[in-house]
Amino acid sequence: MFHLSPKQLPGLIESSALILGIMAIISYFIIGFESVPHIPILLGILIMVAYGSFKKMPFLKLQEGMIQGAQTGLGAVLLFFLIGILISSWMASGTIPVLMNAAFSLTGGPWFYSITFAITAIMGVALGSSFTTAATIGVAIIGVAQSSDFSLAITAGAVVSGAFFGDKMSPLSDTTNLASTVVKVDLFDHIRNMTWTTVPAFVISFVLFAILSPSEQAGSGELSSLQESLLTTNLLHWSSWIPFVILVILTISKQSAFIALAITSFVATAIAGFRGILPWNELWSTWFNGYSANTGHEVVNELLTRGGMNDMLFTISLVILALALGGLFFVTGVIPAILSKVQHGLKSARSVTLSTALTAIGINISIGEQYLSILLTGEAYQDFYEKVNLARKNLSRTLEDAGTVINPLVPWSVCGVFLSGVLGVPVLDYLPFAFFCLLCPLLTILFGLTGKTLTPASNENNL
C-alpha cells in the first residue's frame, strides 16, 4: 500500500498519537464493552476519514485508500467462502468426524497433558478453528482434568497450545489463509515454510507436557462418551477418508489452495450424496447454511454443526473493515510516517525479521486482535522484505509465529477473553504452560537473527 502514501507525511508524534488513540478505542470496546471488533474498527475508519478531511484530503482519495486496502484481501475472501463450503461438505461426508474419532482413539495412558496437546492439535488441523477446538474438545478435556484432580492451568495450556497449532497449520484456518493472501504467497507454500518453526515448537512442547504429566491414568469417561456419540451418527465410513487423502495429494503436488479446496469440496459432497446422508437438495443447501447435527450429545452437536458460506461472513466482514482501516492509515501517511523513521535501520534480514515480529506482537498486545496484527504488519513490511532480498513467505511465517499464536496469551485480547471464559481458567494462569504459543515467536526471532531457514527472494514460488 505504499503507493497510497501522500507526498507530505505527518509528524511522528502526530502519527503515533493517531494509531495509539485508535488502538485504545478498539481495545476499550473489545474489553470494556465486550463488543465485536467490527464496531470499533468502523469507528476507527470514521476517525481516519475525519482526520483526512481535516488535512484537506479529497474524500475520493480517502475512498480510494479504503477500496485499495480492501482489495488486497479479496483473495482471502474467496478462499474463506471455499473454506466454509469445505467444512460443511467434510462434515456431511464424515471426513471431519473420522478425524475426530481418530483423535479420541489416541486417549489413554499416563501422559495426560501431552496427549491433550496432541489431540487438540489434530482436531485444530481438522477443524481449522482454535475457538471450535477449545470450546468443544477443550471443554471435554477440562472436565476430565477436573474429575481426575489434575492441574487445570497446565491442561488449559495444553488445550490452547494444540488448538493454535491447528489454527496456524490448517489449510482451513482463516488466519493461515489471511497471512498467505495478504503477502501474496501460495497457501501450501506458506504452510510448508512454517514447519521450520512449527515442528520444533511442537516437539519441544510435547516433551515438556510429557514431563509435566502425572503418572496416573486420566479418567476417560467424557471422551469415551464423545466417541460413542460420534459412532451413532452414521457419518463414519471408510469413504470419509477419501476427501482428506485427495487434499493431501493435491497439497503435495503443489496445486493452488483454491483448486484443492474446490475439488475436495465437490468430492466430499458427492460422497455424502451417494451415501444418502442428506437429500441432494439439502446437501447443496449446506454449502451456504452449513451442516447441522442432531445427536443425543450436546458437545458432539456443537462439534459437527458448523461450516457453510454464511458461517464465514463474520470473518470476511472483519477482514474487509480491517483492510479498509489499513488503507486509510497508508493513504493519510500515518503508517509511512512511522516506518520512515525506522526504515534506515531495516537493512538486513536480521533487523527486518526482528522488527516484523515485535510489530505483530505489539499490535496484539495493544489492540488485542490477531487479524489486525496480521493485516497491518503484513502490509507494512512487504517492501522491506523485497529490499533485503527475502522471499515473502518468510514474512507470512513471521506473521503467524508472532501474530496468530500470541493473541491467546493477551488477557484482554479477543482470543484471551474467549478462551478464559470457555475453559474457566484465567489467561495468566495458563500462559506459562502454553508452551507452543511461547516457543513460536522465540524460534522465528532466533532463525531471523541467525539467518537459518530463511528463503531468498529468488527461490520463492509465488501465487
pLDDT single digits (tens) 367-420: 667 887 888 788 778 888 888 888 889 899 999 999 889 989 987 777 887 788
Domain assignment of residue 28, yes or no = no
> Phi first, then psi: what are they for 185, rounded to 5°?
-125, 140
Tell me, what's the pLDDT at 463?
42
Domain assignment of residue 135, yes or no = yes
Contact 76, 182 (CB under 8 A): yes
Q: What cell does 403 get?
A: 501474530
Asked if residue 161 has pLDDT above 90, the reply is yes
Measured CA angle at 408 (ends 34, 194), to 5 deg: 135
Q: For 206-214, what is the mean pLDDT?
A: 91
Domain assignment of residue 351, yes or no = no
Q: How far apart are CA 410 and CA 417, in angstroms?
A: 8
pLDDT single digits (tens) 290-331: 999 887 777 778 778 878 899 888 878 877 887 788 889 889
Contact 107, 115 (CB under 8 A): yes
Query: How many domains does the chain divide into?
Result: 1
Q: How far apart are CA 160 and CA 422, in angstroms?
A: 11
Asked if residue 462 has pLDDT above 50, the reply is no
Domain assignment of residue 194, yes or no = yes
Domain assignment of residue 212, yes or no = yes
Domain assignment of residue 176, yes or no = yes
Q: Which residue has the cell 463488543?
A: 35
Q: How far apart are CA 137 and CA 141, in angstroms?
A: 6
Domain assignment of residue 54, yes or no = no
Q: What residues are paired with 456 via a beta bridge?
A: 390
| Structural domain boundaries, residue 267 | 75-312
Domain assignment of residue 385, yes or no = no
Asked if residue 59 has pLDDT above 90, the reply is yes
